[in-house]
Amino acid sequence: MAVLGSWTAQRCLWENGGRSLLRAVAQSGPCCSHQAKRYLLTDDILKLHEFQKKKLATLYQIYGKKDLYFQMIEEKLQRNGIILRDELKTLLHLCSTQPDVEFAKRVIYRYHAENKNVMFGEFRFGPVFLRLCYELDLEDIALDLLKDQTLRGFFSDCTSFNILMDMLFTKGQYERAVEVLVEMRNQRVRFSKDTYILAFAVCYKLNNPNSCKICTTLLEEIEMTGDLLPKQAACFAAAFALKQNEFQRARTIYSKIMNTDTKLCNNLLLLIKVHTSTMEDVLHFLEAATGTTGSILVKKLEFSEEVLASAGQKLKSQAELHTRFNSVYQRLKNEGQISALTLDQMLCYTPPELRHTNAHLLRNRKISHRTFRSLQSTLLVE
C-alpha cells in the first residue's frame, strides 16, 4: 500500500495545480482542444471527440469512485492478480493527468506480459492510449512506449503510429516523427494511406538529405508494389521535389495525381510550369484562368500570392512578357482569384470532413409536437 500512497500523493499534487481535463472538456462542449492546431489527420482517424465522450461516460458511470477504482487496480498489481481487458479500458478512459498515465503504464506492462501471446480480438489498446497521450500532450511517454521492445505487439496497428506522427508533426518535431516512421518499419507494421501522407509531409518539412532518401525510397516502393500514391502525399512529394530543385521529378510525381481540380494542385502546376515550361506557356495558363465564365456555378481557379510572385520574378528580365503578367495579375486580383495562403499552408490544410451529428436535435423547436401550433405564438399569448 506504500506504492499506492505515493501514487495518490503525486496525483494530488498535479490535480491541485489545475483542473481535470475532463472537466474542461465537459465545459467546452463538443469542440476539441486540438482542433485549431491539427494539420493532417481528420477526426475520422484521430477520433478525439469520440474518445472524450467515452471518457465522460466512463467517469459518469463510476462518479465519485475514481480513487477507489485506481486503488482496486493497484491492489491487483500488488498481489499479482490478472488485469482484465475491460479493467484496462476503463482505467485508460479515467486518466486525466500525467500521474494517472504513469500509473496506467504499469498496468499496460502487466497486461501485455499476461496477454502478449493471446490475440486481443478486434479491440486494440494502442490507439486508445495514443489518443490519451494526444489529449494530454504526452508525446514523450507515447514515443517511449511505442519504441519499448517489451511492448512489441501492443502497438501492432498503423493507427497508433499515425496518431503519434500527427502529434509530433503538429508540434514541429519532425525528426522524432521520422523516428516513429522508422520504428513502424522495424516492427513491420503495414503503412496505410495516412502513413504515406504523414511520411511525405515530414520529409517535405525537414527538407534535408536524409528525408530526401526516405522520400525516394518510399516512392520506389510504391512504384514497385503498384500501389496508388494518395493525392495529398503526392502533393507533398511534388512540393518537396520543387524545394530540392528537382523540377522534372516534381513534374513526374504531379502527373500521377488523378484528380487535379483543386486549388493546391493548380498552384503546384503553376510552380512546376514556372521551372519546366516556357514563360509563354506560364502566361497562357494564367490567362486561361482569367478567361473562365463569370457564372457563380463554375469554380474559379485561385492562386497563391507567393506562387504568383515566383512567376513574376522569373519574368522580370523579359519586359514584354512581364507587362503581360502584370495585366493578368491585375485581372486575377479584380476577380478575387488571388489567395494570401502560402503553398505550405495549402499543403498542411486538413479538409473538413462530413460530420454526422445530431444537430437537428439541438435546433430550437418552433412547432409543438402535441398541438402542431407555433411555440412562439403560444408564449406570446401567455
Domain spans in the chain, listed from the N-terminal domain onward: 1-157, 263-291+300-353
Q: What is the pLDDT of residue 362?
A: 35
The pLDDT value recorded for residue 138 is 97
Query: How far apart are alpha carbons 271 and 295 in whole angstroms?
Result: 27
**pLDDT computed for residue 374 by the predictor:** 55
Residues 214-242, buried b or exposed e (16+ Cβ, 10 A)? bbeebbeebeeeeeebbbbbbbbbbbbbb
Place of cell 506560364: 282
Closest CA to 272 of 247, 295, 253, 289: 247
- pLDDT for 255: 95
| Amino acid 37: pLDDT | 45
| Confidence (pTM) | 0.80
CA distance 274 to 278: 7
List Cα–Cα distances, 215 to 57, 203, 207, 229, 249, in angstroms. 43, 6, 10, 12, 12
Q: What grid cell was written down for 322? A: 512581364
Q: Which pLDDT score is estimated for 7?
A: 43
Q: Kindly give the parts of the chain with pLDDT less than 70.
A: 1-39, 118-122, 291-298, 351-382
d(CA 90, CA 55) in angstroms, rounded, equals 9
Structure confidence by residue, pLDDT tens digits, 300-321: 899 999 999 999 999 888 999 9
Using DSSP's 3-state secondary structure scheme, residue 295 falls into coil
Taking Cα atoms as reference points, which of 188, 147, 35, 50 lies closest to residue 139? 147
Query: Residues 136-139: contacts with CB within 8 Å, 24+ apart?
Result: 136/21, 136/95, 136/96, 136/97, 136/98, 136/101, 138/98, 138/101, 139/164, 139/167, 139/168, 139/171, 139/173, 139/176
pLDDT of 38: 47
Q: Which pLDDT belongs to residue 291?
A: 67
Q: What is the DSSP string of 265-293?
A: HHHHHHHHHHHHS-HHHHHHHHHHHHTS-
